[in-house]
Amino acid sequence: MDVPAPRRRLGGRGHHRGDGLSLLFAADVPEDVAGVLTATQRPVVTAAFTETASAAAWRTKQSWALVAGADRTISPEVQRFGAARVGVVVELPRASHAVALSEPTRVADLIRDGVRATI
């Protein structure tokens, strides 16, 4: 599938043209919701792709990972690689990058499980 490249980069920011955002980011959410996402998207700070973390919290804190199996923004293989380090992984095979919108109950359950396990 061809996905449109970011429209432009301004001051270290980039964003996708609206005609490809819903396919790339939110393929499994209702069309009206995807339309709102497209209309209200904000440019991503390109430093988000190059900045390094000073420490990995998952090395010292119990963590969880959710793999969105149909994500076209972050490859599910890349997500699985990172999630394997965490130890507790929930995979939603049909979920897009907008998994919090398409599977809100499952995402909330994962968050609640994490909270319960750490208090």
pLDDT digits (tens, 9 = 90+) for 62-82: 888 999 999 998 999 999 999
Provide the token pair at 31. Answer: 């069309």
Q: What is the mean pLDDT of the chain?
A: 82
pTM for this predicted structure: 0.72
Domain check: are 13 and 61 in the same one? no
Rounded to an integer, what distance in angstroms lies between the CA atom of residue 68 and that of residue 27? Answer: 12
Q: Which residue range(s) make up the domain with 28?
A: 1-52
Same domain for 42 and 64: no
**39 plus 59 within the same structural domain:** no
- The total number of structural domains in the chain stands at 2
Mean pLDDT of 100-109: 94
Instruction: Outline where 12-60 has alpha helix (H).
Output: 18-25, 31-40
Over range 3-15, report the average pLDDT.
46
Between CA 7 and CA 99 the distance in angstroms is 24
pLDDT of the residue at 17 = 56
- Mark whether 113 and 85 lie in a shared domain: yes
Domain match, 3 and 36 both: yes
Q: What does the pLDDT look like over 41-68, one tens digit per residue?
A: 877 788 888 888 899 888 888 888 999 9
Which of 6-15, 52-61, 77-86, 98-107 has the weakest average pLDDT? 6-15
Provide the phi-psi class of 80: left if phi over 0, else alpha when psi is between -120 and 50, else beta: alpha
